[in-house]
């Protein structure tokens, strides 16, 4: 009998804890989720929101991607904590670097995906993770990138020019009511990348609460275009339940008084 796929539903997959090793000597913790009975048709390397404001590998859209997409879309999902970030999985070594030394983290994740022979590697950045994608994601092994709620806070015009010159697919999924960059502004900023797609989401907000399904459908359209969307909202098979209370201290309100970091002088 089919059961509804809920926010805490975990569908079958091959899941393993992994460690990434950066060129500057740090060990980062993460997880790789792959389809259980088939080779993946595509791979997502997830770059999470600001760790200074609760972002981590378990931020809800990435958690749901890892819990659902291997089974529903045949997509492998690699998520990890950038330097100085912790979650239930554990803490990555190092300290937050406002997008500078995180270049080693991005490179280590892409390298891991390559060495694991994962196909069709796409970067999926969210908020701070979109800056990391634009600044450090133009790797020959990367097929394209998808940006969720890009604030364009740390990335600079020069990074957009590099993506424009390279020509890799780039999609910015922008919520109508984003806190930092709304669709009209995003269209202006991303005009520097003529081939970039800016996709407004009516009613959406920066954290995508209530809209994860819409986001995952759009991601699958681009990474695995042969998979029918919208993805199923029910599952006829075994299904586990995840802990929804593990991050009660990572809500937006918990970080309301914490100043937003800025890019270090000269980092661009």
pLDDT at 261 over 90: no
pLDDT at 253 over 70: no
Q: Give the pLDDT confidence of 219-230 residue by residue, as tens digits.
A: 999 999 999 999
Mean pLDDT of the chain: 94
Q: What's the whole-model pTM score?
A: 0.95
Question: Which pLDDT value is given to residue 9?
Answer: 97
Question: Which pLDDT value is given to residue 262?
Answer: 77
> What is the average pLDDT across 20-43?
98
Please give the class, per CATH, of domain 15-235+247-252. Answer: alpha beta
Question: Which pLDDT value is given to residue 130?
Answer: 98
Question: Which pLDDT value is given to residue 203?
Answer: 97
The DSSP secondary structure of the chain, one letter per residue, reads --EE--TTEE---EEEEEEEE-TTS-EEEEEEEE-SSS--SEEEEEE-S-GGGT--TTSHHHHHHHHHHHHHH-EEEEEEPPTT-EETTEE-SS---TTSTHHHHHHHHHHHHHHTT--SEEEEEETHHHHHHHHH---TTEEEEEEES---SS--HHHHHHHHHH---EEEEEETT-SS--HHHHHHHGGGSTT-EEEEETT--TT-TT-HHHHHHHHHHHH-TTS-SSPPSEE-S--EE--TTTTGGGSGGGGTTSPPP-PPTT--
Q: In the chain, what percentage of residues exceed pLDDT 90?
A: 90
Residue 14 CA to residue 60 CA, distance in Å, equals 20
Q: Give the pLDDT confidence of 157-191 residue by residue, as tens digits.
A: 999 999 999 999 999 999 999 999 999 999 999 99
Question: Which pLDDT value is given to residue 268?
Answer: 43
pLDDT at 51 over 60: yes
Question: Which pLDDT value is given to residue 266?
Answer: 53
Question: Which pLDDT value is given to residue 251?
Answer: 62
Q: In the chain, what percentage of residues exceed pLDDT 70?
A: 94
Q: Give the pLDDT confidence of 190-221 residue by residue, as tens digits.
A: 999 999 999 999 999 999 999 999 999 999 99
């Amino acid at each position: 009998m089919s059961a509804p796929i809920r926010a805490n539903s975990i569908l079958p997959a091959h899941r393993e804890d992994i460690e990434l090793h950066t060129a500057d000597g740090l060990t980062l913790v993460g997880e790789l989720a792959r389809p259980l009975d088939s080779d993946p048709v595509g791979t997502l390397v997830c770059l999470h929101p600001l760790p200074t404001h609760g972002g981590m590998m378990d931020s809800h859209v990435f958690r749901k991607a890892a819990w659902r997409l291997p089974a529903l879309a045949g997509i492998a999902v690699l998520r990890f904590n950038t330097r100085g970030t912790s979650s239930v999985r554990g803490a990555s070594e190092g300290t937050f670097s406002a997008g500078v030394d995180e270049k080693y983290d991005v490179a280590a994740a892409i390298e891991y995906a390559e060495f694991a022979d994962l196909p069709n590697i796409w970067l999926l950045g969210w908020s701070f993770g979109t800056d990391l994608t634009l600044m450090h994601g133009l790797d020959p092994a990367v097929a394209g990138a998808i940006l969720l709620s890009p604030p364009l806070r740390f990335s600079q015009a020069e990074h957009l020019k590099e993506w424009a010159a390279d020509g890799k697919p780039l999609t910015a999924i922008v919520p109508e009511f984003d806190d930092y960059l709304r669709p009209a502004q995003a269209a202006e900023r991303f005009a520097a990348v003529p081939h970039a797609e800016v996709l407004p989401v009516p009613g959406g907000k920066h954290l995508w609460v209530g809209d994860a399904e819409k986001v995952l459908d759009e991601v699958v359209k681009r990474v695995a275009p042969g998979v029918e969307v919208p993805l199923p909202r029910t599952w006829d098979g075994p299904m586990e339940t995840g802990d929804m209370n593990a991050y009660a201290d990572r809500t937006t309100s918990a970080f309301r008084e914490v100043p937003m970091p800025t890019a270090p002088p000269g980092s661009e």
